[in-house]
Structure 1
Amino acid sequence: MATSKIGKKKTWSCQYPARRKFLDWSKRTHFIDGIARGLLYLHQDSRLSIVHRDIKASNILLDKELNPKISDFGLARMFGGDQTEANTKRVVGTYGYMSPEYALDGHFSVKSDVFSFGVLVLEIVSGKKNRGFCHPDYNQNLLGHAWMLWFNGIPLELIDECFADSCTPSEALRFIHVALLCVQQRPEDRPDMSSVVLMLRSENPLPRPKQPGFFMGSNPSEKDTSSNKNQSCSAN
């Protein structure tokens, strides 16, 4: 079955008016729901719990019905029995999607994938990529920008202007809220994917998110230069 990558720039950039209309709000919410259910299956419903370790836009494929499929399991780690987390001396993955505890200490768990999912949701909602985005006023990446908007009470300004008039504000607000819960600094503060799936479509009140794991005022090129001395990352 033919597939395409959700992460290709031409897929959801506002520079392509035809695709802007094609990938409307309902399709993007379908992507978010499908990716969440896919991660839930890997973490909880498969025979062995699987941590993907490289959830990012370019590793989400779309079939001909535009159903999202998680791909590239080259870095995946299977856990058996009661094992749910591990440490590694060789950090691999993609900057911009890696959780702080994995990028800095090599510690990964299902909560590492939750963090990556949160980044991906913010990218889908905003139409911007976390890596390379830098707000001109306060020099933050996409996670920092989303947090500042949330903190200032204007989170809906994060929404991609391509469909700002067609999306459901309450639904968009909930997706942003859930994403911020997923990218919190401490892994124990993040929800698991079963909770995420429920929160995405529930109308129940959500807990207040804490500050996300991001580097304030960081320069992506400088961060890559220093990190690549002892680490390896896949191309995005």
Structure 2
Amino acid sequence: MSCFTACLRGKPSISELDQHISEIRDSKLFTYKELKIATDDFSPANKIGEGGFGSVFKGKLRNGTVVAIKVLSAGSSQGVREFLTEITVISGVQHENLVKLYGCCAEGDHRILVYGYLQNLSLAQTLLGRGTSGIQFNWKIRTKICSGIARGLAFLHEEVIPHIVHRDIKASNILLDRDLNPKISDFGLAKIFPASMTHVSTRVAGTMGYLAPEYAVRGRLTRKADIYSFGILLLEIVSGRSNTNKRLPYEEQYLLLRMWKCYEEGDLIQLVDTSMGGEFDVDEACKFLKVGLLCTQEMPKDRPPMTEVVKMLTGEIDLGDNQKISRPGLISELISLRGRKQNISSAESSSSQNTTMSYATPTFTSIDDRSAYR
């Protein structure tokens, strides 16, 4: 049994963690003192994100490199598992559309990850967090972001050996650099797929609203689950809104359902983000929305692989007006949830909504946790 497997079966001991980390050749080990100095003793003024498993701080290393430092909660066994998964999966893997992991600290009870700092934070905080960033997301920038995310996923799915399934593609895990190039972040829930493996059965992890139905209901994980999540994200980027918004009229609360209805009515264009003031390529915008619907089709086999998605977005593959798109996959619990929500108070409805984590901070949703569906 490998040290990594042993670590994931329970709360790992410090010696097990040290052994595993020592086996990873492509990750620099930082001392706790180094990172404490880099963040001015983890000053609240340097905090740029917070989530269920810890906080993220902006810091500067001794060589002047500005970094994002994620400090995991010492008492969280799940946080430790994600720490191990992250350094195992992403150490040594580099791509222009993946966040760079500089290294980690595993000194005593401290579990800290050190990433490249990205000036414009996440899509959840900027594009979907209207009025807080000052960034003008014009159509050219949106197409660059969509294509970049697709390239990053295609790299993980088809070029890295063994292949990697991210499992938590969402707006808060897409970070933007100075030039608004997208970087996929947070590999704490990722799964490694040998080339001979078609799927794995696993406990469900990810974020409601982005989960593929076959994965959420049966725990059957394939690369198609990431493709579904990407499809939802693509629709969010083009429309400029989150996949679920309880403040909207009831019939508009779920983006995918609304998008499908507009597609059937031949009126996709009405869901393109109005903040662009109509300054976008109509045909290209509709094409991007159709690609999003292709990626979220009910049958996983109908969803295109990410290499094809990249070519569709960049125009190397022509969708054409006759491209057949089947109905989207919808989690049955979500559908029944919509009916029940009409009879509960607004306070209860508000408390049931998902919380968006910021800057590379993971969320974890298990199919066993039925409260996530209520």
Is the TM value for this pair above 0.5? yes
- AA at the equivalent of 2:240: G
Aligned match of 1:193: 306
- AA at the equivalent of 1:169: V
Q: CA RMSD in A?
A: 2.6
1:116 to 218, 221, 229: 229
2:209 to 96, 118, 134: 96
Q: Is contact 1:49-1:79 (8 Å) kept?
A: yes
1:163-202: CA deviations, max 9, x gaps? 1411100110110010000001110111110111111122
1:28 and 2:135 equivalent?
no
Residue correspondence of structure 1 range 215-234 to structure 2 within 5 A: 215-216=334-335, 218-219=337-338, 230-231=368-369
1:41 and 2:155 equivalent?
yes
Deviation at 1:137, TM superposition (A): 5.8
Deviation at 1:232, TM superposition (A): 8.7
- Mark the CA change 1:81 to 1:14 in structure 2 (over 3 Å): closer, same or farther: closer
1:104-162: CA deviations, max 9, x gaps? 11111100000000000000001111133576263651000000011001000110100
Q: Is contact 2:165-2:191 (8 Å) kept?
A: yes
Deviation at 1:229, TM superposition (A): 7.2
* Cα distance between partner residues in 1 of 2:313 and 2:353: 33
- Structure with the bigger RCO (C-alpha within 8 Å, sep 6+) is 1
Aligned match of 2:294: 181
Q: Is contact 1:95-1:131 (8 Å) kept?
A: no
Deviation at 1:41, TM superposition (A): 0.1
Give the fraction of aligned pairs with identical amino acids, expressed as a percent: 40
Aligned match of 1:136: 249
Secondary structure at the counterpart of residue 72 of structure 1? coil
- Mark the CA change 1:16 to 1:204 in structure 2 (over 3 Å): closer, same or farther: same
Q: Is contact 2:121-2:177 (8 Å) kept?
A: no
Structure 2 unmatched ranges of 5 or more: 1-115, 342-348, 355-364
1:55-103: CA deviations, max 9, x gaps? 0010111122211111100111011131131111x21110000100111
Secondary structure at the counterpart of residue 175 of structure 2? strand
* Cα distance between partner residues in 1 of 2:366 and 2:304: 30
Aligned match of 2:167: 53
1:201-222: CA deviations, max 9, x gaps? 2262352211111244634867
* Cα distance between partner residues in 1 of 2:152 and 2:133: 30
Deviation at 1:13, TM superposition (A): 4.5
Secondary structure at the counterpart of residue 251 of structure 2? coil
TM-score by length of 1: 0.87
TM-score by length of 2: 0.56
Count residues in correspondence: 229
Q: Is contact 1:123-1:129 (8 Å) kept?
A: yes
Deviation at 1:15, TM superposition (A): 3.9
Deviation at 1:17, TM superposition (A): 9.0
Would you tell me which structure has more strand in proportion to its own residues? 2
Aligned match of 1:211: 327
Secondary structure at the counterpart of residue 5 of structure 1? coil
